[in-house]
Chains A and B, each alone.
Chain A
């Protein structure tokens, strides 16, 4: 987004504010504010604080933290800026255009200054209808840009504030057109991305008004900040929960090609946004998943996973891979055949993610592996004999809970053959014996003890495999040694009937009156 330049008289202000201390402080602020936000809902909206083409005055690089009294001053300034704007809009005399752009610019500066722009004050003062007027067809670019920028930051606020943009939507969509200048189209896309990020209702309005095709076309060029902004806006637009938008997007001419091209060649920032588009396409639309799988998307995802170290990029790429594997049986059955190079590559990059220090990557990589391990016997053998197995065993003992749960799915899936019909599934003894021999049982019994019903269920199901499948009746002894009986007995009077029945059933069958009598 860093394009454009300033005229020479602005040299000094830039130099004085470029400094490592100031930058570090701002970063700290961002991280702190970010941590506070972690508890609240994930923000899908983005504030625009720096323009993509800096052909006007100050870049807002001071004043990040505004305190309370400054906030009320800001609100007062905003109300009078709206008044200024109102008079500029109706002014028809000489210099009308400059006056209007000036008023818009002032409005925009006020809305870009702090982390919490005075959106409510602006709306209350009547900014929106004025901004809508400023978007009329034929308005000069500067005017369109400033108006769209104001709307962008208003839309980044609370839900009711984003909804206030409804009157502006058709115009914002129209200005995405191929005849609009790039910065204008991009700013409109940004505003629309914020609106789409608000929720399902607004998304549906935007789709109704035809926002998808022009945004999709903006994603087709090879590079530029406009492409990246369009991809981000699209990801917000198609995120559902309805699948129709995702299906509509994949069918737009040139989109599949552009997605593959960007995954292959784009810089990491653009690839990241495109990867998020793929995440939603593959999570929501069977049509999209099937079209992507038939192309060489898996190869491209694998390449990115292998070569990148950017967490921002790795997360959506890994998730896309997981979605296409989980969503389409064709992937495992026809594309990722055991013995093919592509399959080996997939396992390799998943191992890389398991080794990562990032929790999200470990957890989701284990999830992907669990789905591959739900495939054929050959798939299970592939994973079992790879570097993944020892890693998984280690993670089962040492990793945080959510990772251990996913790892449990992988290991359990490795021990059970693909099910046919409703009968009791067959065990893969070799894997079961080996993994138990390498100490995975305590990890499963630990899950039985957890408060999570799903995890407890997994643990009990694995224990059943051990009790049933270990040779020479070793199963019960092993379980007893690891305090498994005691873990199951906790469920005797447990409120969850399902778990109670499972645990009691196992205890009755394997640790009944006859237990221990042979010794």
Chain B
């Protein structure tokens, strides 16, 4: 707001007159500090108040009686989920972004696809051997590629400040039994590369149905488009919607529809 004051002229006052201007403050400006404090004080309280609210919700759930627990039927998982919704969440999380060759699970499709290329794709290996830069940077939006794993690793540390201890691909420490199982699976995979998708789906759906009572299923990974009913099926065998559609052709609910 200050005007440079010119005190040389005797007639002119040289006064910094009032000039209306817009005033903008940075978010951390002291101007805003009292408002900021209000936010954090109540944030602390919320952590305690939530337990009040949660108590009431728990009370209601408990009052409704009984449990709706579901055990994940996929063998080796054994996860215990508290409701159908949690199961669907769990299923989408844990059993749909998994590598069909080695069963490693990744939190994004992109990371899964990078893993599959780098660990199992012979075409990828061939290009690497011929000197192409095939190893992608893991950070979304970066776009750089490198000729080898170490080069990409170095880039992550240098450019993206990853810790040097970070390892994208960790060698698994499997028990002897697990190694044998995996070896068997890999040879099946190689010989079944042209089998139809429908067969794999059919095999797994049946497996899921029987798994509730037996907790055993086939080894192949499940298809990506399975959705689960919202009805409370307590007391009944847990039956995915896709299976119901197979048995009753008249069912009008589309596959994979998640409400």
With A50-B54, A209-B160, A501-B5 known as contacts, the answer to whether A92 contacts B173 (CB < 8 A) is yes
Tell yes or no: B246 within 8 A of A by CB: no
Binds A, one of B123-131, B139-147, B199-207, B225-233: B139-147
Output the least CB separation between B208 and chain A (Å). 18
Pair B165/A167 contact, Cβ less than 8 Å: yes
Residues of B within 8 A of A37 (CB): 40-41, 44
The answer to whether the Cβ of B24 comes within 8 Å of any Cβ in the partner chain is yes
Q: A315-B39, A424-B17 are in contact. Are A181 and B50 (CB under 8 A)?
A: no
The answer on a CB contact under 8 Å between A5 and B62 is yes
A18 engages B26 (CB within 8 Å): no
Q: A53-B82, A61-B55 are in contact. Are A418 and B20 (CB under 8 A)?
A: yes
Contact between B92 and A239, CB atoms less than 8 A apart: no
Do most interface residues of chain A lie in helix, strand or loop, or is the interface mixed? helix
Segment with Cβ contacts to B, from A41-49, A69-77, A472-480, A485-493? A41-49
Given contacts A179-B107, A367-B23, contact A209 B139 (CB under 8 A): yes
**A283 interface neighbour in B26, B79, B110, Cβ under 8 Å:** B26
Mark A6-35 against chain B: 1 for CB-CB distance below 8 A, else 0.
111011001101100001001101110110
Q: Which of A110-148 contact B (CB under 8 A)?
A: 129, 132, 136-138, 140-142
Q: Which residues of A contact B26 (CB under 8 A)?
A: 240-241, 283-284
In the bound complex, residues from chain B placing their C-beta under 8 Å from that of A136 are: 170
> Which residues of chain B are within 8 angstroms of A311 by Cβ–Cβ distance?
38, 42
A323 / chain B contacts, CB cutoff of 8 Å: 24
The answer to whether the Cβ of B112 comes within 8 Å of any Cβ in the partner chain is: yes
Q: Are B38's CB and A312's CB within 8 A? A: yes
User: Contacts A8-B67, A425-B18 known; A180 to B93 CB distance under 8 Å?
Assistant: yes
Q: Give the contacting residue for A27; candidates B5, B36, B45; CB below 8 A.
A: B45
| Interface pair B39/A182, CB less than 8 Å apart | no
Q: Does A321 touch B at the CB level, under 8 Å?
A: no
Of the residues B34, B47, B108, B173, contact of A174 by C-beta under 8 Å: B108
Q: How long is the Cα–Cα vector from A367 to B24 in the complex, in angstroms?
A: 10
Whether B96 and A179, one on each chain, are in contact in the complex, defined by CB atoms closer than 8 angstroms, is yes
Pair B93/A416 contact, Cβ less than 8 Å: no
Q: Does A309 contact B (CB under 8 A)?
A: no
Q: Does A55 contact B (CB under 8 A)?
A: yes
Residues of B within 8 A of A23 (CB): 52
Q: Is the CB of B161 closer than 8 A to any CB of chain A? A: yes
Q: Which residues of B contact A54 (CB under 8 A)?
A: 54, 58
A243 CB to nearest B CB, Å: 10
- Report yes or no: B93 in contact with A374, Cβ–Cβ below 8 A: no
Chain B interface residue count, CB cutoff 8 Å, equals 97
Chain A's nearest CB lies how many Å from the CB of B56?
Answer: 8
Interface size on A, residues (CB 8 A): 121
Chain B residues lying within 8 Å of A48, measured Cβ to Cβ, are 47
Closest chain-B Cβ to A273's Cβ sits at a distance in Å of: 10
A residues in contact with B13, CB < 8 Å: 505, 509
Expressed in whole angstroms, the minimum distance between the Cβ of B178 and any Cβ of chain A is 11
A50 touches B61 (CB 8 A): no
Q: Quick check: A137 and B20 within 8 Å, CB to CB?
A: no
A363 within 8 A of B: yes
Partner of A170, one of B44, B141, B162: B162
Q: Tell whether, in the assembled complex, residue B20 and residue A412 are in contact, meaning their CB atoms are under 8 Å apart.
A: yes
A-B contact pairs, 8 of them (CB 8 A): A6-B58, A6-B62, A30-B48, A92-B175, A137-B105, A169-B162, A182-B89, A183-B89
- Residues of A whose CB lies within 8 Å of any CB of B are 1-8, 10-11, 14-15, 17-18, 23, 26-27, 29-31, 33-34, 37-38, 42-44, 46-50, 53-55, 59-61, 64, 92, 129, 132, 136-138, 140-142, 166-167, 169-171, 174-185, 205, 208-210, 213-214, 239-241, 276, 279-280, 283-284, 311-312, 315-316, 319, 323, 325-327, 329, 332, 359-360, 363-364, 367, 370-371, 373-374, 402, 409, 412-413, 415-416, 418-419, 422, 424-425, 457, 461-462, 464-465, 498, 501-502, 505-506, 509
